[in-house]
Every structure is written in structure tokens, then in C-alpha cells.
Chains A and B, each alone.
Chain A
Amino acid sequence: MSLWFWVLGACALAYALKLVGYLVPDRVLDDPRVGRMAGTVTVGLLAALVVMNAFGSGQALVLDARLGALLVAGIALVLRAPFLVVVVLGAVAAAVLRLLGAP
């Protein structure tokens, strides 16, 4: 199926989720469990995306220049660098490591 189908479907679902908050009675989303699960799912998904993008290559786990990007980004975040700087440093780290011959 065309990627367009999934792009537009995901957009529609994203809007529906936002709208749901405005339409459902307060007490449904007032359940503290709903708020907590939304929080843990967000953290869990982002952590999973970090691991997949840093070490995943199809169905294999590999160590390559992206590991350097992960470490440099982590150091930049500890030093409170703004988001855009962190992203640029990640790119620079991976590009430099490849220039030096890393896979």
C-alpha cells in the first residue's frame, strides 16, 4: 500500500486524539491512570526509538558511527545544549566518525 495512505491515516488519528480530549466528559480522562499511562508510553516509545535508530539495521543490531552520535548528543544534553545544537552535533559526530573510517 502507498505510504501516502499511512501518512494521511496517521494524520487523521493524531487529530482525532487531540479532539477526543475536548469532547469526552472530564471524568474519563481524569482517571489518574490514563494520564500516567500516556506519560509512560511517551517515554517508552521515545526510548525505543533512540535504541532502534542508534543500533538497529533491519533485523540486526550493529555498532557504527551512530554510537558516537548517541554519546555526543548525551554529553551535549548533560551540558544543557538546546535541541537544535544537540541534533547538529549528532550529525557532525556521525559524519566525522565516517570520515575517519568508522562503518
Chain B
Amino acid sequence: MRLNTIFFTAPSSKSARRPQREPIPFQMLLPLKLKKGVSGKGDKLKEAACMQEMAVMFACFKKAEFDQAQCLKEVSSFQTCFNEYNQRFKLQREQGKKGVLVPGEKELTHRQLNKLLKSFPPSQ
């Protein structure tokens, strides 16, 4: 019974579900060239800021039973870390928005890259 069903429901040689036959013919679904620019998806900052400082602060809090006055050093280091991170983030965003090209820079943002690519368009 079971064998029968396999026998009858298997894709025939005309069906689109049959296994492909070598050699597989090439079909050009998209033009074979790169796009003129790059997308900005990879440029997002993925690091979680100040994890180390936060862990140190939590350890101190636990020891001092959440009395902030005993952990002033840890708290201030955490806050300065976050402020610095914010400033860096802001600066990066501003520069990225402008897309200013700095000569000799290794790591480019997608906006900078797009600007660069636009100034040297591919020859047709």
C-alpha cells in the first residue's frame, strides 16, 4: 500500500519537481554587475555600551546593599563612560550624515562609500 503511494506520487520526468539533469542551463535572473552603491544596514553600532562599567557598578551595589554613596567611584566611571559613548555616537552620526571624506581613512561609513562611488561612476 505504502509503496504504491510512493510510486504514483513521485514526480514524473515531465514534472517541475523532478530532479535536475546535468548540465544545468544558466539563466540570468539579475544583471551580472554590482550595484552603484552600498546599503547602510551594516553600519549600525551593535555594541552594548559600558557593559564592563555596569558590571563593576552592580558588584559594588550588591556589596553596599544599593547604597549609592558607597559606590561614588564606580557610578561616576559608569556615567562618564556613557557620556563619552554618547558623544562618540553623536559625532559619528553627524560625520556620517555629512559624508565627509577624510583622506587616508581605512574604515568608511556607507555614506562616505556612496559618495566615493558616486564620484567614480562605472563606465557604460
A and B associate: no
